[in-house]
Amino acid sequence: MNSSKNLATAPKILAISGGIDSMVMLDIFVKLYPAEDLIVAHFNHNIRPDSNLDQFFVQQKASNYGIKFFSASANPGQLKSEASARSARYNFLEKLAITHRAQIFTAQHVDDLVESIIINLIRGTGWRGLAVMNRKNVFRPFLDQDFLQNIFFQTKNLQNNFFLKKISKKNFANYFSKNKKSQIIIDKKWIFTYAAAHNITWREDSTNSENIFLRNYIRELLIINPLSINQKTKLLNLSQNQKNIAAHIDQIFSSLKLDQNIKRAQFIDLSDGVAYEFLRFLCKSQLSGSDLVKLLAAIRTYAPNKTVNLTKNRLVKIHQNYFQLP
């Protein structure tokens, strides 16, 4: 997480799709920071026939606010999945961040986090599936308690605080978890409440209503069976704890001195969970879960001079006392 000082001084790239979440984030940041410190970035996925209208809408909003605008587009039909769309979008944002030495801001909130956790659990990603939205150099203000506590409570004159000005105290109080920390929980309902209070306009993505996408199906289920604020808080805290654990494990592994030949004996006495994490680190997170299972079994049981064939034609040679990664 970046320090408050870095957030205050570094240029801020706002990833704006034109949807309600990102438009609310844009309105908040315009109120918090000078326009010259902000950059609006829009990636046109070219998935829908009206995608160009989203880009025009965001560009006009940036112009109205006096904020620099940058965009990039995928070729029509190029992006076939949510994963490929996300990868292309972040590649654009990260290149822009390097060029401007800036911090990337995205508008995911706690409901997005809950959806991502459920998707990962369905896909069998294991405990790391709880450590979602953990990309480096991407700041998510609606999920960051330090940021939220600062803008909600440390304004000198709360009567002029734009969060409170047009939202009733009753509605405001509904977004606090009922625990000792009084965490602020920003979810979709809060986003709609803020948008209505501040006359925010946005573009609707028609694909959000198509249940052919797993995320949309889960979203519909959560509308029918909504989680409470306290349940969302527990998932938010669990996810943050898992991120901390993942970072600690990666730090430990990165301090190890390893060569290309890795001793098989290191994996004999390790529990499966720790062994998978060790392999995941050694393979730079490029192997699937099924590949990790297959490789660990080979390391522990294969006779010398055998080769294990993983997906994408990756070959790992197993020797008497060590193995070699591709």
Average pLDDT, stretch 15-32?
Answer: 95
Considering the domain architecture, whether residues 37 and 169 belong to the same structural domain is answered as: yes
Helix, strand, or coil (residue 316): strand
pLDDT category of residue 2 using cuts at 50, 70 and 90: very low
Helix spans in the chain (H):
4-9, 20-32, 51-65, 82-100, 110-122, 145-153, 162-165, 169-173, 188-197, 214-224, 229-254, 272-282, 289-301
Same domain, 97 and 13: yes
d(CA 102, CA 14): 10
Beta bridge partners of 270: none
Please report the pLDDT score of residue 3 as a whole number: 43
Looking at residue 283, its pLDDT comes to: 81
Shared-domain flag, residues 185 and 314: no
34/147 same-domain check: yes
User: Is residue 121 over pLDDT 90?
Assistant: no
Task: Say which residue the tokens 């034609």 belong to.
Answer: 313
- Do 206 and 312 reside in the same domain of the chain? no
Same domain, 98 and 188: yes
> Does 272 lie in the same domain as 218?
no
- Domain-embedded: residue 226: yes
Residues 91 and 18 in one domain: yes
> What pLDDT score was predicted for residue 157?
46
What is the number of domains present in the chain?
A: 2
Percent of the chain with pLDDT over 70: 84
Instruction: Decide if pLDDT at 168 tops 60.
Output: no
pTM (2 decimals)?
0.78
The reply to whether 268 and 229 lie within a common domain is: no
Of the listed ranges 35-44, 78-87, 314-323, the least confidently predicted one is 78-87
Determine contact, residues 106/78, Cβ cutoff 8 Å.
Answer: no
Q: State the pLDDT confidence band at 94, using cuts at 50, 70 and 90.
A: very high
Structure confidence at residue 160 as a pLDDT band (50, 70, 90): low
pLDDT of residue 5: 43
Q: Residue 269 belongs to what domain range? A: 261-324
pLDDT above 80 for 310: yes
Rg (C-alpha) for the chain, rounded Å, is 23
Nearest to 44 by CA among 80, 14, 88, 81: 88
**Residue 270 vs residue 26, higher pLDDT:** 26
Distance in angstroms (rounded) separating the CA atoms of residues 164 and 124: 41
Task: Return the pLDDT at 294.
Answer: 92
Cβ atoms 68, 30 nearer than 8 A: no
Side-chain half-sphere CA neighbours of 81 within 13 A:
4
Q: Percentage of residues in the chain with pLDDT exceeding 90?
A: 38
- The mean pLDDT of the chain is 83
The pLDDT of 89-105, averaged and rounded, is 95
Examine the fold and report which residue of 174, 206, 238 is the final residue of a domain before the chain moves on: 238
d(CA 92, CA 39): 13
The region of weakest confidence among 197-211, 216-230, 296-310 is: 197-211
Spatial distance between the Cα atoms of 255 and 236, rounded to a whole number of angstroms: 29
First to last CA, the chain: 33
pLDDT value at residue 312: 82
Tokens of 115: 């959806």
How far apart, in whole angstroms, are the C-alpha atoms of residue 37 and residue 313? 47
* pLDDT tier at 170, thresholds 50, 70, 90: low
The three-point CA angle 81-84-88 to 5° equals: 140
